[in-house]
């Protein structure tokens, strides 16, 4: 009897924890959408689905928001099959069909192009990303998508900020919402306020059919790995630091930095009549 009692009381705790995690992520997605006006009435949102934990979670949470949102919008999931060796091409179609989501699978052999142009042992991510982006933008045009949703999360944004600072000498991150260089596409990142650890835990709970991201054999971006390790150490030493860094990116004071293109320092003077 004692064992049965322990089992009975433990189960609600797990369910409660899962519910809290789902509620937190849903709230953060809703906050990001509202704060940056990511989704509007009548939008067709193209959700880019790679098969990783982030994009699965993105689609899942947007589907939840779609049911309760004060505006009507449509979702279509899009995956780019880049013809990497060993890519399990049935995983995403079977999953998306099973949950009743409209989807498109684009087949483009960018893998061969990347392997041809990038020397062996060098990271292929930059070229692969450019090719993938061009193909997805073109497909967005073809289907009339008004927004393109990507699965980058808070940690991606913070890592990019420090990568640009340490290795490129620029204060620049991943914006939650941006217009493409050609001015034709609006890209949104609804997971911008969500922590990677929360997303990983949620994906594990939902048991998504994860497709590994190393099928191309590319080496990890070593600079990004360095930044990730640094941020993980900071978070261990001072829990909540990543939240504080993200908050700082949302509260910028150009007059207290040193970029004359962002603030008119030349106009500052102590001449009579100047405010």
For residue 58, what is the domain's CATH number?
Answer: 3.40.50.620
- pLDDT tens digits, one per residue of 51-92: 999 999 999 999 999 999 999 999 999 999 988 888 899 999
112 located within any domain: yes
Supply φ then ψ for residue 75, to 5 degrees.
-125, 140
- What is the distance between the alpha carbons of residues 37 and 108, in angstroms, rounded to a whole number? 32
262 located within any domain: no
Q: pTM for the whole thing?
A: 0.87
Output 19-25 pairs: Cβ under 8 A, ≥24 positions apart: 21/198, 21/201, 21/202, 21/205, 22/202, 24/198, 25/57, 25/61, 25/194, 25/198, 25/199, 25/202
9 located within any domain: no
48 located within any domain: yes
275 located within any domain: no
Contact 80, 136 (CB under 8 A): yes
pLDDT given at position 121: 65
Q: Which domain holds residue 218?
A: 14-250
Average pLDDT over every residue of 141-148: 97
Contact 33, 39 (CB under 8 A): yes
Radius of gyration, alpha carbons of the chain: 22
* Total tally of structural domains belonging to the chain: 1
99 located within any domain: yes
Measured from the Cβ of residue 213, the count of other Cβ atoms closer than 10 Å reads 14
174 located within any domain: yes
234 located within any domain: yes
């Amino acid at each position: 009897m004692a064992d049965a009692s322990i089992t009975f009381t433990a189960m609600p705790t797990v369910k409660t924890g899962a519910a809290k995690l789902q509620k937190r992520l849903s709230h953060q997605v809703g906050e990001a959408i509202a704060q940056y006006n990511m989704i509007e009435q009548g939008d067709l949102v193209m959700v880019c689905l790679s098969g990783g934990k982030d994009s699965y979670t993105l689609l899942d949470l947007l589907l939840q928001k779609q049911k309760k949102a004060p505006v009507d919008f449509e979702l279509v999931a899009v995956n780019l099959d880049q013809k990497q060796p060993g890519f399990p091409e049935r995983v995403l179609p079977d999953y998306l069909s099973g949950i009743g989501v409209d989807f498109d699978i684009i087949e483009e052999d960018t893998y061969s192009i990347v392997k041809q142009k990038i020397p062996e042992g060098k990271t292929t991510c930059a070229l692969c990303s450019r090719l993938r982006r061009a193909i997805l933008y073109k497909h967005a045009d073809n289907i009339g998508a008004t927004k393109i949703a990507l699965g980058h999360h808070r940690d991606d944004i913070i890592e990019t900020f420090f990568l640009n600072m340490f290795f490129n000498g620029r204060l620049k991150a991943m914006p939650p919402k941006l217009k493409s260089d050609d001015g034709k596409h609006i890209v949104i990142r609804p997971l911008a306020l969500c922590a990677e650890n929360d997303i990983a835990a949620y994906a594990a709970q939902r048991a998504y059919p994860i497709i590994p991201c190393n099928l191309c054999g590319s080496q990890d971006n070593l600079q990004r790995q360095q930044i990730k390790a640094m941020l993980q150490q900071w978070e261990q030493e001072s829990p909540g630091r990543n939240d504080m860094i993200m908050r700082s990116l949302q509260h910028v004071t150009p007059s207290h930095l040193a970029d004359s293109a962002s603030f008119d320092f030349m106009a500052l003077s102590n001449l009579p009549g100047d405010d």
